[in-house]
Amino acid sequence: MIQAIGLTSDPRKDLPPAVDDVSFEARAGRVTALLGGPGAGKTTVLRLMLELQRGRGVTYFRGRPLHRIAHPSREVGVLLGDVPGHPARTVRGHLRMLCAAAGVPARRADEVLEVVGLVSLRDERLSTLSRGMDRRLGLACALLTDPHTLVLDDPTSGLSTREKRWMHSMLRAHVAHGGTVLLTTPDPKEAARTADQVVTLERGRVVADQEAADFARTRLRPRVAVRTPHAPRLATLLTKEARATHRSVEVVRESGNRLSVYGSTCADVGETAFRNGIPVHQLADEVGDMGPRASTTADRSADEARADVAPQRKAAVSRPEGSREQAATRARSGGPTRTTGTGTGTATSSATESATSSTASAPVRKRRQRSVTAPDTEARTPQARSGDRQRTEPEAEASDTTSPRRAAEAPSVELDALPELPPPISVRPAPSPLRPLRYELRRAAGVGTGFVTCGAVLLVSAVTAVLLARVGHTPRPRLMAGWPQQLPLPPAALGAGLLGALAFGDEFRHPALAADRGTVPRRLGLLAAKLLVTTATALLLAVLTLGCDIEMLYLVYGRELAEVPSDWLSLTASWFGLVVGCAWAGVLAAGLFRSTTAGLAAVVAVPVAVVPVVQKVVEGPSVRTAAGFPLRIRELLLNQWPFGGERYVEAAARLIAQPVGGALTLSLAALLGAFLFTTLRGKVR
């Protein structure tokens, strides 16, 4: 079950908070609906419950706050907005990638696809899905870890009637197995039909917390829908008969030849039309909302009742409360033209009826708010207990004013008393994938961007090598790498840098790993997985580039240009170091600046901006020079390494001593340090 207590969002500037002291309870085995129009605060309530937005309050999921649950995704399935997957990824590939992130077997993706009816579309790309299929995929993502609780933000938005019925049947099947479903909807009819409990929000506050049957009776009004070509005449006859029989009947003229009759039945309306010879084209019982006029009056009455008994919150932004005359004027100014037939002593307007129903439902709402308690009283904070105590004292006084004890305590209760605020809500960082290496492999192989990039690099490098050989005057190593003197980096290094930048860039463009937060975690485990996969890809690209270039030179010009140089070992090490270093620079820069463009710019900036600076520093005037550096390396190592290990250390030192190698090493060190600093700073916060 879900228990939300005192959810309050932080106010912005001089505006009141979007959500103010919202408390409700969603029990297991039931569907609970948060009902409200645009701006009522439904999505804000969900974000506060899921600790995605700063504020105050506490929410318990089966007795534990979300930050006390080891793996929140296995306890709560969330659907906020559309599925933020890569457009080129397939439905099955997207779910398999999320399986690795959640730590569940990959076969779970096929099981969920069968449950939501997407087996036939498992190889379709996300960009080709319709609105209904996208909603099914979103539900599949929420059900992927088999959670106990589902939190869905308007899951039927934009769906057809048939698709809405399917969605509601899926949610019913989930609660039939003991699960909990909390959803939001702006449609009161949908809430009454599909939910077991309806919590109504207005301007960020709870105005009703009722069972679905009570909600349909008090917040919705049954009516008789009539369609006839003689609508004005029938309306007049119904009004006259209501006055004659002393019944409260309200007739509302709708568009066209349609009438809505409140307070009557199909039998009475049909008999009246038959006696007067009026043809009727439609006669049916319906349930409709109370309309804007009654809703405004009811909300104003509830606000005034709450203002009379509730103490003011400390540091809260003042909200203007309209007077009763303003509410009545606003109620009279809204709504369609109505003709009401009433009897003596029984006449009540729709506004008065709605205010009465809202007032009648207030004790029910108060009792439900008092029943929302933490599962462990000792685990509750003193602020929350004192807040509950101060909220219930005025209610107890109102219900028992004749008690001597209450009479003695009544003067001690001051309206200016400031209750303690509920505990603050801290925004938790996005969880890292439980299987980062498997996740990164499925993420990189799930789209064709990497394969297209590698193919383009091989083609450009081979063509460049052939053209350079034709022109001549190009050293053999640059010829085999397809690296002209005019380019700062070879095509293979640029391609590796682009692949590295896409490793984090695609994550931030399509944050499937943390869809509800809109970003991805910069964790060391995820970084290590990305660096490992990028390294393997860069090495494969470097080998394929050399192989393709040498093969093309052999096919076009013969064996002379395809011969391997004598110092091939050091050249190969330099080549691999350059390609892998560019790939790492792309990964770190894109993860640091959250952009693919920034990652590729950091790769290009190494030879363009950093190398000239390093050359000026090295070649500048100095008192001493680094002479005999390899000899002193051997002396420093003292003993000979097995299998000639000191030679590899010397080769690595020579690579770093080169201008490009030194600049690349310096850039990687700076990017890695900045990445670690931001990651550790986020953990400290």
pLDDT of residue 666: 80
pLDDT of residue 300: 40
pLDDT level of residue 134 (50, 70, 90 thresholds):
very high
pLDDT level of residue 109 (50, 70, 90 thresholds):
very high
Is the pLDDT reported for residue 522 higher than 70?
yes
Top-confidence residue, 372 or 286:
286
Each residue of 475-521: pLDDT tens digit?
Answer: 888 888 898 888 888 999 999 999 999 999 988 888 888 777 767 78
DSSP bridge partners of 211: 197
Give the pLDDT mean for 544-554: 92
Helix, strand, or coil here: 349?
A: coil
Top-confidence residue, 273 or 664:
273
DSSP bridge partners of 2: 26, 61
Task: Using the CB atoms, write b or e for 48-74: b if 16+ within 10 Å.
Answer: bbbbbbebbbbbbbeebbbeeeeebbb
- Residue 355 in tokens: 């205010």
Q: Are 88 and 125 in contact (CB under 8 A)?
A: yes
Q: Would you state the torsion angle of the CA atoms of residues 524, 525, 527, 532, taken in this order, to the nearest 10 degrees? A: 140
Is the pLDDT reported for residue 62 higher than 90?
yes
SS (H, E, C) 587-655: HHHHHHHCCHHHHHHHHHHHHHHHHHHHHHHHHCCCCCCCCCHHHHHHHHHCCCCHHHHHHHHHHHHHH
Is the pLDDT reported for residue 667 higher than 70?
yes
pLDDT of residue 352: 34
Give the pLDDT mean for 243-248: 89
Is the pLDDT reported for residue 206 higher than 50?
yes
pLDDT of residue 335: 39
Q: Are 574 and 543 in contact (CB under 8 A)?
A: no
Smallest CA-to-CA distance from 260 within 292, 231, 227, 224 is with: 224
Each residue of 362-374: pLDDT tens digit?
Answer: 333 333 343 333 3
Each residue of 291-345: pLDDT tens digit?
Answer: 433 333 334 434 443 443 333 333 333 333 333 334 333 333 333 444 444 433 3
For residues 556 and 546, give the distance between their C-alpha atoms in angstroms, rounded to a whole number.
15
Smallest CA-to-CA distance from 112 within 122, 102, 103 is with: 122
| 8-state DSSP, 430 | P
For residues 624 and 348, give the distance between their C-alpha atoms in angstroms, rounded to a whole number.
102
Q: Are 7 and 19 in contact (CB under 8 A)?
A: yes
Contacts 24+ apart (CB under 8 A), 511-514: 511/84, 512/83, 512/84, 512/85, 512/86, 512/94, 512/97, 512/98, 513/101, 513/430, 513/433, 513/439, 514/430, 514/431
% of the chain with per-residue pLDDT over 70: 73
SS (H, E, C) 169-194: HHHHHHHHCCCEEEEEECCHHHHHHH
Q: What number of CA atoms fall less than 13 Å from residue 145's CA on the CB side?
A: 21
Checking phi first, is residue 643 left (phi over 0); if not, alpha (psi -120 to 50) or beta?
left
pLDDT of residue 460: 95
Q: Are 357 and 215 in contact (CB under 8 A)?
A: no
For residues 186 and 157, give the distance between their C-alpha atoms in angstroms, rounded to a whole number.
9
| 8-state DSSP, 465 | H
Handedness of CA 49, 51, 55, 58 (dihedral sign): positive
For residues 134 and 79, give the distance between their C-alpha atoms in angstroms, rounded to a whole number.
11
For residues 186 and 36, give the distance between their C-alpha atoms in angstroms, rounded to a whole number.
5
pLDDT of residue 320: 36
Residues in Cβ contact with 400 at an 8 Å cutoff, skipping those fewer than 6 apart: 406
- Residue 220 in tokens: 């919705």
| 8-state DSSP, 316 | P
pLDDT of residue 189: 87
Of 18-32, 356-370, 658-672, where does the model show the most confidence? Answer: 18-32
Q: In what order do the strands lie in the sheet with 424-425?
A: 22-26, 2-9, 55-61, 424-425
Top-confidence residue, 129 or 652:
129
Is the pLDDT reported for residue 106 higher than 90?
yes
pLDDT of residue 582: 92
The amino acid occupying position 623 is V
Q: What angle do CA 267, 272, 274 make, to 5 degrees?
A: 90
Where do we find the tokens 């997407």?
A: 118
pLDDT of residue 398: 37
Give the pLDDT mean for 432-461: 93
For residues 118 and 547, give the distance between their C-alpha atoms in angstroms, rounded to a whole number.
43
SS (H, E, C) 519-541: CCCCCHHHHHHHHHHHHHHHHHH
What distances in angstroms separate CA 97 from CA 107, 408, 444, 447, 500, one per listed residue? 11, 65, 10, 11, 19
For residues 516 and 428, give the distance between their C-alpha atoms in angstroms, rounded to a whole number.
12
Give the pLDDT mean for 640-645: 55
Each residue of 556-573: pLDDT tens digit?
Answer: 988 888 888 887 887 888
Beta strands 76-79 and 149-152, pairing class: parallel
pLDDT level of residue 411 (50, 70, 90 thresholds):
very low
DSSP bridge partners of 424: 56
Give the pLDDT mean for 589-615: 86
Is the pLDDT reported for residue 141 higher than 80?
yes
For residues 591 and 522, give the distance between their C-alpha atoms in angstroms, rounded to a whole number.
7
pTM: 0.71
pLDDT of residue 11: 87
- Residue 640 in tokens: 């000979």
Give the pLDDT mean for 580-584: 93
Residues shown for the chain:
685
CA 211 from chain centre, in angstroms, equals 29
Give the pLDDT mean for 165-194: 93
For residues 406 and 222, give the distance between their C-alpha atoms in angstroms, rounded to a whole number.
42
Q: What number of CA atoms fall less than 13 Å from residue 162's CA on the CB side?
A: 3
Give the pLDDT mean for 613-628: 62
pLDDT of residue 642: 57
Alpha-helix residue ranges (DSSP H) falling in 58-106: 72-75, 91-102
Q: Are 425 and 57 in contact (CB under 8 A)?
A: yes
